[in-house]
Amino acid sequence: MATTQKTIFVTGAGSGIGRATAQLFAERGWFVGLSDINQQGLEETAALLPEGQRISVMLDTRDRAAWARAIETFGQVTNRRMDVLFNNAGVGKGGWLEEMEENDIDLVLDVNLKGVINGCIAALPLVKEAQGRIINVASVAGVFGAPKLAVYCATKFGVRGLTEALDVEYSRFGVRVVSLMPWFVETAILDNRSGDSNRNLRDQLTENKTPIYPVSMAAERAWDAAHGKDVHYMVGKAAERARFAARFFPNSMRNQIKKTLVDD
């Protein structure tokens, strides 16, 4: 990579928002570190980026030792420069809390929250050298709680709180920590089924005429998050409306959620 080239390290780059963001930053001249636990998805994303402008590493974000290896590999290629960590890897598992499998609960907690914390710690030395920033991918599920998404919401509220706390803590290093908070985005998570239901989340959203935004919109907002002054970056007008409603009309918001997301 060129010595003046900016760099971004993307987790969950094998699909969805991670892939779209990696493509966008590469198109705009950045060197991109691609990481994912899914080797096939990682290879597919790598094939979409110019050779010589990216590096790929396998990474299970739950594994602290794997984080250390991935950051070391990235640092060797970029002369220890990481302008942005895009802390994006996540999983979506839902259902009534009392009916969820214990393994699914642990997976959501470990990837969506602990994995993000691991990244904030592991990447700090390189981000600090670059006076860069960390973008944690939260969700509108970190603004209001939704039925059948209790554990997922808990992790996203956690990421939101983590982001706000670290933006203050890491300011002593000259590092910003911000979040991306998407509404429902066109990713594979929408195809997950909860419990024994024959319907997936996409079916429910379509039935209720709930907007689903393209991943390209999330990638553009990730670009804004890498350059802007705010702490939280909402994706989609519905996300902005939800944040407003959750702040000023929480009871109305809660009643509306019950109507749209709870099966009869």
- Find out whether 142 and 157 touch, Cβ atoms under 8 Å: yes
Enter the tokens of residue 171.
């300011």
Enter the tokens of residue 114.
């602990």
Gap between the Cα atoms of 194 and 38, Å rounded: 22
Gap between the Cα atoms of 235 and 42, Å rounded: 24
Angle between the 250-261 and 237-248 helix axes, to the nearest 10 degrees?
130
| Annotated catalytic residue 152 | yes
Angle between the 150-169 and 115-122 helix axes, to the nearest 10 degrees?
20
β partners of residue 176: 133
Gap between the Cα atoms of 3 and 129, Å rounded: 14
Of residues 57, 56, 50, the one with CA closest to residue 28 = 50
DSSP-assigned letter for residue 213: B
Of residues 218, 148, 146, 145, the one with CA closest to residue 181 = 218
- Give me Rg for the CA atoms of the chain: 18
Catalytic entry in 152, 170, 213, 233: 152
Helix (H, G, I), strand (E, B) or coil at 242: helix
Catalytic residues, which ones? 152
